Structure 1
Amino acid sequence: MDTQNTHRVALVTGASGGIGRAVAERLARDGMSVVVHYAGNAGRAEETVASITGRGGRALAARADVADADQVEALFDTAERAFGGVDVVAHTAGVLRLARVAEQDLDDLDDLLRTNVRGTFAVAREAARRVRRGGAVITFSSSVVKLAFPGYAGYAASKAAVDALTPVLAGELRGRDVTVNAVAPGPTATPLFLEGKDRETVDRLAAQPPLERLGLPEDIAESVAFLAGPGRWINGQTVYANGGIA
């Protein structure tokens, strides 16, 4: 395997902003060509592409509904046509819907599960078929699976499914020299996380880790870069990137 990531190709879902954009930019700095996936905001995706190409990297934007099998297949086709193959899949795309169990709207829950569970499975399935030897698949879980924050039941359940899928896929890819791991961020300062939270809530969450701050998208991107590159002996694991929240 080329440990310097030269001529490697990464497909990053949800790369139009937040953690996904930081992941795309970080993998590009490691020398990878990057397919910047987005679901709806083409302008923000093109901003990510411009950020990468402006530093001399290679990137293109591609739209897909990650829960639609045909669109996911076409997304991988785009990567292969443009860059010759896929070596790293970082599946950051997901949605967040908050509600206490007693007030949970089941249509909202269906939407959440469609994107976070079916979408993860659709991307993982195509990755299992196409990622080249020496590659890596990085799914996205969440630290709320174990932190049990009120209001996060549906979201945590969707991410627990990712925790279950990840080691199974790692085992199924035996002999392929492809690692499969999940990254489970803790509270991270993204617009999605900060939306609807007052200053007191944000400060309380920031004080929880021993490092006494919220995570940054770049912190999570570093974990992904390690799993996508030198972290070859980590496989089938959920890596908690949360600053030490117990």
Structure 2
Amino acid sequence: MRNLFCVVLISLLAGCAQQGPVKLYSGPERSASQVLVVQVPADLEIQSINGQKVAALDNLVRGDDQQVHLLPGEYQIDAYYRRVFDIGGMTHEVVRSRAATFNINGQAGETWRLGFQKPANLDQAREMTKRFDAWAENPRTGQRIQAQEGAVPSSVIGQLFSSGDAAPRDRNQSVEPLGYAAPAESVAPALMPVSAAVAPRSPVVQPAQAALPHSDATLTTLQQLWLLLTPESRKSFLEWAEQ
């Protein structure tokens, strides 16, 4: 099953590699001297930047390093190592390290690179699920900031369920630096209607929760997961479902 999953994964995502830098700020294009450039090695997969998932970085298979262009400022980048190892013939193994949080506070015109201790073989790559030695480095100044360890990798089944969203995300989104405050539009008090000042606030509409699509494929997946459960796990699940 693992081999089949790897083959399908590579076939579906081999064409997802993006060319050129990824622009993650609003407004017109800026020159390299006006932005913060973050270089991402090919084997690193970004989960989020400042807690925000970025659809433009959903490239599970890349052949080259990637450049991300951001506004100058402070960022926390959550990323992990992922690589498909060929262990003979049609047999492959996907290795994913535990996550790491890279802390960068970059100025305009600076370039930072996400680095990590590259494994020399499959056994060393497997060890990265326990400990991921990574850092952010400024190649010009030599400054290096050690990354903070994050969560351990989820199971293959967990990755399948967490990799998709209920609705497509905007691929033209922007990520603001930490503590960034957009300039607010000012309204002269003398021009503001009295009714606007005392009007009750509209109720906040809560976003809809993500849900799996209702389809035969979803049903089949749930049925297969049910077959993998032990009798004790099935009993616990049924008790939870009746609550």
TM, length-normalised to structure 2: 0.27
More helix by share: 1
TM, length-normalised to structure 1: 0.26
More strand by share: 2
Rg larger in structure:
2
